[in-house]
Amino acid sequence: MSRKEKGFYYIDSHSGAGMYSLKDEYAQKTGEYKDGIAKIIEAKNIPEALQPYIELITSLNNDDELTLYPGSPGIARQLIRRQDSAHLFELHPTDIEHLREYAQRWHKSHIKQSDGYQGVLGLLPPPLRRGVVLIDPPYELKEDYQKAVRTIIQAYRKFATGTYILWYPVVKRELVDKMVNDFTSSNVKNVLQVEFCQSPDTDEYGMTGTGLFIVNPPWQLAEQLKEILPFMKENIGQLACHYSLTQLTE
């Protein structure tokens, strides 16, 4: 989006705290980052498309130690220019306080403690007709799977040229299949689905992988992902790791 001079809106429906400490009790207890970003940063032959992300993470940390990891607002803050603006929604009372504190001197950020789904729809179409919408719900409620897709379908009717990114966990395959069916039976065009799973689908409790639906993906993103996904499998993939890249709708 920033390759063009014209400004754009970045809209984040479930923003979280903005920035996360890898030294806090929870991060140390799970240790997830040690099998993820810590390994990727140390890897060799990092694909060119992934370099800006790696540089962004390293710029936030000391050379010898990972202490911080950015949430989506933390990434957006590094990339947004004077002509762009960030619109961040968060309902959780603790996270919204952390987010406000993080964005204190971020003049181009607008933070609201309100429903992110409605917030997205209320801001579209943006004045300059350029925008990126990220929907990354907690999925604590099963309704989130359908609600998130439904929000994008409604948003697309208002702003068909925007780029929409929807993150989802792979917990039960039938829930993901329903999202796929909802997209393919809608009027939303140009939907790319990418998925990275550490283990096979299971009926047992727990997340086996994650994915993204991307509406109007940037030019060349699909080709870049064809390099990034094998790199991820090689460097952080477990034994049964698998990935997929599908153009859902042309």
Residue 53 is predicted with a pLDDT of 96
This prediction's pTM: 0.96
Residue 118 has a CB neighbour count (10 Å cut-off) of 12
Burial 17-30, CB ≥16 within 10 A → b, else e: bbbbebeeeebeee
**Per-residue pLDDT in tens (0 to 9) along the chain, 250 residues:** 999 999 999 999 999 999 999 999 988 998 899 999 999 999 999 999 999 999 999 999 987 789 999 999 999 999 999 999 999 999 999 999 999 999 999 999 999 999 999 999 999 999 999 999 999 999 998 899 999 999 999 999 999 999 999 999 999 999 999 999 999 999 999 999 999 999 999 988 899 999 999 999 999 999 999 999 999 999 999 999 999 999 999 9
Which of 201, 219, 197 minimizes the C-alpha distance to 210? 197
Asked if 164 and 155 touch (Cβ cutoff 8 Å), the reply is yes
Give 58-76 as a 3 state SS string: HHCCECCECCEEECHHHHH
Token digits of residue 142: 């099963």
Q: Is the dihedral of CA 179, 184, 186, 192 positive or negative?
A: positive
Mapped onto helix, strand or coil, the DSSP state of residue 166 is strand
> Domain spans of the chain?
19-70
Token digits of residue 81: 């220019």
Residue 91 is predicted with a pLDDT of 97
Annotated catalytic sites, by residue? 136
Residue 63 is predicted with a pLDDT of 73
Residue 221 is predicted with a pLDDT of 97
Fill in the amino acid letter for 112: K
Residue 177 is predicted with a pLDDT of 97
Torsion of CA 75, 94, 87, 79, to 10 degrees: -10
